[in-house]
Amino acid sequence: MALEGRSLAIFIVSIVMMSLSIVTVSLRTFVRLSVVRAFGWDDASMIAALCLFILLNCCCIIGSMKGVGHTYTDFTSIEVYQKALVWWWLGQMLYVWTSAAAKISIALALLRLTVKRSHRIILWCTSTVTILIGLMFWLLLLFDCHPISFFWRQVDRTSQGTCLSKAVLLNSAYVYSSLTILCDLTLGILPAFLVWRLQMNYRTKFAVGGIFSLGALASVAVAGRVPFLRFYSDQNFLYSTWQIAIWSVIETGLGITAGSLITLRPLFRWLLDEKSTQSQDPHRQEHHLREYPLRLLSSDGLKSSQDTRYWRPDIDFDDTKSMMITVSSPRRKKFSLSNTSQEALQAEPSPTISPNHVTVQKTFIHVVSERQK
């Protein structure tokens, strides 16, 4: 079938949302594995959501090429129309679990920030409702017709089978969409309460809270599907339900993208630190060090950060002796400081030490003043 009109719109939206989701989830995976090294169940759930989303988009792309979005009179035979119905049905089956996996991933990510018991209960309830309504609607779509193949064979008058009434399917779709909107709003609004109590300035709070609240955009896409649900009972099914296909792709794509964007904040710090390190000492680029020293740099100190008087404001350099406290993790390599006698007390981490283990070292620094020279 020709890609034109409504079928072309489904094709383009599927390509764009799938590409955007692949990029953001890939960056998320890199951050969680290489930068912060804290890959968790929320990341695994988001990767699962991406895999399902790719399959969903493949169904939409192939379906648009097979005739989804065309009128019944555009099809040359019943067999061609049945193939288009198969791809539409597969897409809706995948949509349910793709949306659920993305929401569960966002909820698990927010659980890392929760301290209050009430917030944790809300997140677990949201995840439970998401799974239950997803399972309910998926089973309804699966067993809508008996046998299952009668869904796409019913256009052939010689086929035998039965389907549920369109009123049951339509009412179930309304219930599913309403509860999905409620879950999306919960995941979008709750981060504002979590971030508000964090120890950070207001600009950072608004930035972090805004990124977390991007998940609420998915509820807008769900609401966009609601006016078109009535076309489930339309006789010209593939032509009338093209908006349902588009908004389903947009909803899941926004959920995956927003859920991945909230984890990319360490990536920008890593890029800035790498750029700063390479500009200070080009030879260190060959060693691929991943060092993140705790320091406070003034604007002038950025130009000469090797001078300890700029990045150790807590040390009084007028005295001949000072004490410096260094915090490090076992993943870091030996880090030497100029003008000090600091040595790594534990060059290689013990295999029994947890990956989250932190070592605190106290180092006494002998500062030679100009008058002593």
- CB 129 within 8 Å of CB 179: yes
Q: Give CA–CA dist 178/184, Å, rounded.
A: 10
Task: For residue 216, give the nearest of 188, 254, 238, 186 by alpha carbon.
Answer: 188
Domains contained in the chain, CATH given: 6-268 (1.20.1070), 291-366 (no CATH)
- Convert the pLDDT of each residue in 75-95 to its tens digit: 888 888 999 999 999 999 999
- Convert the pLDDT of each residue in 242-279 to its tens digit: 889 999 999 899 889 888 887 777 776 676 666 555 55
Residue 169 has pLDDT above 70, yes or no: yes
The model's pTM: 0.70
Q: What is the pLDDT of residue 113?
A: 77
**C-alpha distances in angstroms, 221 versus 15, 40, 224, 226?**
17, 28, 5, 9
- Convert the pLDDT of each residue in 31-69 to its tens digit: 888 877 878 888 899 999 999 999 999 999 999 999 898
Stretch 155-173: mean pLDDT, rounded? 86
Of the CA atoms within 13 Å of residue 341, those in its CB half-sphere come to 8
Lowest mean pLDDT among 23-27, 34-38, 66-70, 344-348: 344-348
More confident residue, 357 or 36: 36
Task: For residue 88, give the nearest of 246, 250, 217, 297 by alpha carbon.
Answer: 246
